[in-house]
């Protein structure tokens, strides 16, 4: 039976009351999971008392208009999940990276051009979603690839042209999303991510792959290696046509090792930047 939502007695201040109501209710029942998505929130100040609710384990603020995150958010030290998807965030406080229990951080569809220095210090972070931002390789902090606990790193819809070889340090990485960046080349170190089972490379400017990729289990039923929308050299394109297991065999072959070495010294012509990307809404300041 659906219960009629209690009618707000402050219809003129709907924007405030929506978030406030959730917070009041959550405080009353000590709900550790806070759903504040799509509540027209633009600043943390609007969410009175939120930063005192230290017992909460999940904070979902997606589909709001938040521009900045206060360092004090890190005081909610029981948080395991912070979801800030689809906001207007341009900058993040370093303090988040010291949150002791934070496992899942969703910052997708925001306006990040960079991450704060030292941002890779997260002690237990497992899933970091940075899809649909404006990040590129030189916008990453130096310790970014030291997040050894990371299982999933989503960097799709960003502006990476190269992936730093330090990627190999993410030993536990199972999912790497790089869909629709400007990638021209992948480091051979990607072959050292032995637990990788999902690799999203669609819509980049790649022409060849490191042979080391063939060492990964690309064709199991749990694996998803997405390679469409690149300007592959003909032998790779041909094998891809036949199927991912054919490509994997080919990448491991002696023939390809020679081809690869030739590609390294005599780079194939780079395709132009992807179309449509400049219109990304997150680029509009």
Partner 1 sequence: MMNPRDASPKIPVLGAIENSLLAQRRASKGSKDDINSSYYQYEVYDNVPLTPLNNAPLSLKQNLESPIQPSKLTWVVNLASMSRDNMLCSKCGEGFEPQEKIVNSTGQLWHQQCFVCAQCFREFADGVFYEYDGRKYCEHDFHVLFAPCCQKCGGFIIGRVIKAMNASWHAECFLCEMCKQELADTGFIKNSGRALCHECNAKVKARGLGKYICHKCHAMIDDQPLKFRGEVYHPYHFNCSTCGVELDANAREVRNRPGLAKNDTNELYCLRCHDKMGVPICGACRRPIEERVVTALGKHWHVEHFVCAKCEKPFFGHRHYEKKGLAYCETHYHQLFGNLCHHCNQVIAGDVFTALNKAWCVHHFACSVCDQKMNQKTKFYECDLKPVCKKCYEKFPKELRNRLRRQHEAAPRRAPTPVE
Phi, psi angle pair for 235, to nearest 5°: -60, -35
Distance of closest approach, residue 77 Cβ to partner 1, in angstroms: 19
Distance of closest approach, residue 196 Cβ to partner 1, in angstroms: 12
The nearer residue to partner 1, 37 or 44, going by C-beta atoms, is 37
- Give the tokens for residue 61: 């603020």
Whole-Å CA distances, 32 to 19, 45, 58, 142, 178: 16, 20, 7, 34, 33
The secondary element (H helix, E strand) that includes residue 133 is none
Which chain residues interact with partner 1 by CB under 8 A? 33, 35, 37-38, 58, 60, 62-63, 81, 83, 85-86, 103-104, 106, 108-109, 126, 129, 131-132, 151, 154, 156-157, 174-175, 177, 179-180, 197-198, 200, 202-203, 222-224, 228-229, 276, 279-282
CB neighbours of 169 closer than 8 A, spacing ≥ 6? 145, 146, 148
Residue 200 CA to residue 223 CA, distance in Å, equals 11
CB neighbours of 133 closer than 8 A, spacing ≥ 6? 107, 108, 109, 110, 111, 112, 113, 157, 158, 282
- CB 120, CB 143: distance < 8 Å: yes
Distance of closest approach, residue 174 Cβ to partner 1, in angstroms: 8
The nearer residue to partner 1, 13 or 40, going by C-beta atoms, is 40
The nearer residue to partner 1, 132 or 256, going by C-beta atoms, is 132
Nearest to 169 by CA among 146, 137, 151, 188: 146
The nearer residue to partner 1, 85 or 263, going by C-beta atoms, is 85
Distance of closest approach, residue 85 Cβ to partner 1, in angstroms: 5
- CB 174, CB 196: distance < 8 Å: yes
Distance of closest approach, residue 63 Cβ to partner 1, in angstroms: 5
Distance of closest approach, residue 25 Cβ to partner 1, in angstroms: 16
Distance of closest approach, residue 217 Cβ to partner 1, in angstroms: 10
The nearer residue to partner 1, 62 or 97, going by C-beta atoms, is 62
- Work out the number of other CB atoms within 10 angstroms of the CB of residue 135: 21
Q: Measured in whole angstroms, how far is the alpha carbon of residue 215 from the centre of its chain?
A: 24
The nearer residue to partner 1, 139 or 175, going by C-beta atoms, is 175
């Amino acid at each position: 039976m659906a219960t009629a939502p209690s009618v707000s007695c402050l219809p003129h201040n709907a924007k405030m009351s929506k978030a406030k109501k959730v917070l009041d209710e959550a405080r009353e029942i000590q709900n550790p999971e806070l759903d504040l998505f799509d509540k027209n929130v633009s600043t943390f100040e609007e969410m009175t008392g939120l930063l005192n609710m230290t017992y909460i384990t999940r904070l979902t603020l997606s589909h709001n208009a938040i521009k900045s995150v206060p360092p004090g958010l890190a005081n909610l030290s029981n948080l395991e999940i912070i979801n800030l998807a689809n906001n207007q965030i341009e900058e993040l406080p370093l303090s988040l990276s010291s949150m002791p229990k934070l496992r899942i951080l969703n910052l997708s569809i925001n306006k990040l051009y960079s991450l704060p220095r030292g941002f890779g210090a997260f002690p237990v972070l497992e899933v970091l979603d940075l899809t649909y931002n404006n990040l590129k390789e030189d916008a990453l902090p130096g310790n970014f690839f030291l997040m050894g606990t990371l299982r999933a790193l989503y960097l799709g819809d960003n502006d990476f042209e190269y992936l730093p070889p330090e990627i190999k340090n993410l030993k536990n990485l199972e999912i790497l999303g790089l869909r629709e960046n400007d990638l021209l080349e992948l480091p051979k170190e990607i072959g050292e991510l032995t637990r990788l089972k999902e690799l999203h490379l669609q819509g980049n400017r790649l022409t060849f792959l490191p042979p080391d990729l063939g060492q990964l289990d690309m064709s199991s039923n749990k694996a998803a290696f997405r390679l469409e929308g690149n300007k592959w050299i003909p032998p790779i394109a041909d094998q891809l046509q036949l199927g991912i297991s054919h490509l994997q065999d080919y990448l491991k072959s002696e023939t390809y090792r020679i081809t690869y070495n030739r590609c390294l010294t005599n780079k194939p012509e780079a395709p132009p930047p992807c179309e449509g990307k400049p219109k990304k809404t997150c680029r509009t300041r």
